[in-house]
Chains A and B, each alone.
Chain A
């Protein structure tokens, strides 16, 4: 149904030539990992590979990477007693370097107690309210984003390994549906940009696969760490759509599904993006 006018045949050729030019050279530089069978991509590529040399250098140097300030701040909070139970994270979990290793790579995880998946932000607040009798931290607060970064940092280098079967499967399907649904006045889906057009410029923005292995990610433009659901909100807002609420079931489902799209990628938290 796509060829309506005689001249469209010419368009197809032009588009082919264009994409060949756009992907040569740079593509070779962008290293990824082979996707498992049945995956949407052949090669899964971290957002890191789509950023400039300068931005990558900043991420590669732990002393220069501004995201590390959050890791340091939260390392102190980890040991700090708070709430009615007189406990710190450390009281129950000990050395984060040992007990939190791999935890952030496997989020969101199924919670038997809540009968739904929970992500890192939610689990941290569950621990605060239920186990510490402390106030939950607001989404986007420095405290919550710092601690999320700190916990996920303990998985740095480990492969993203979410479970998508069993009770997770309806959530996975829901997330997939959201990923492919066009929204907003501009009528674009996540897939329109990150699946169909990654590796291309959208004006000044160089589009990646929209992977989540670097989150929370330090955004140079905002000069702070951005939690994943804020990025989701931003992408939906930019197409003039109404974003789902951070930590809503919809974004949880989307987080699960998008994590699967990046399965096997090493966790890069705290990553640096422009």
Chain B
């Protein structure tokens, strides 16, 4: 954890992760998630790492970002994320990362904060989301820097 989280909240988070099989319920209002998934703001630097790491966000598999030009291999499945923070507000970006199918029906972009309703999931990932709530917040904070 790279930021201070009140101890009580941390306990809640950890126990939520431990009981990984409980389905995640998103607090969606008007095609957006206004509230932080952790109750705290994310960290953009950490989010950049999550964004790039192949076993985590691996967002560059599908997107291009000019600010990350030094990274090799930008994918072409999705649009460039340059200026994405001017197109969407934080609450919208949070839903796009957490569960993009709520907005882009039938998209190929995976939901990063969803742990049920999936088909033939490998046992080590059953009941788990691709990213944790904190990692989603970090990625959202990073997306906020793409103005």
Interface residues of A (CB under 8 A from B): 1-2, 4-5, 7, 10-11, 14-15, 18, 22, 181-188, 192-193, 196-197, 200-204, 236-237, 240-242
Contact = CB atoms under 8 A, between A and B. Distances in A.
20 contacts: A5-B88, A10-B87, A183-B118, A184-B121, A184-B125, A185-B122, A185-B130, A186-B130, A187-B111, A187-B118, A187-B119, A200-B75, A201-B76, A202-B75, A202-B77, A203-B60, A237-B122, A241-B119, A241-B122, A242-B120
Interface of B: 31, 58, 60-62, 72-77, 79-80, 87-88, 92, 103-105, 108, 110-111, 118-123, 125, 128, 130
A201 B130 CA distance: 22
Given A7-B87, A185-B128, A241 B31 contact: no
B108 A188 contact: yes
A4 B29 CA distance: 13
Per DSSP, chain A at the interface is loop
A5 B92 contact: yes
A200 B58 CA distance: 16
Contacts of A183: 118-121
B121 A241 contact: yes
A89 to B, nearest CB: 37
Given A5-B31, A201-B75, A203-B60, A192 B108 contact: yes
Nearest to B129: A185
Given A15-B79, A18-B79, A202 B119 contact: no
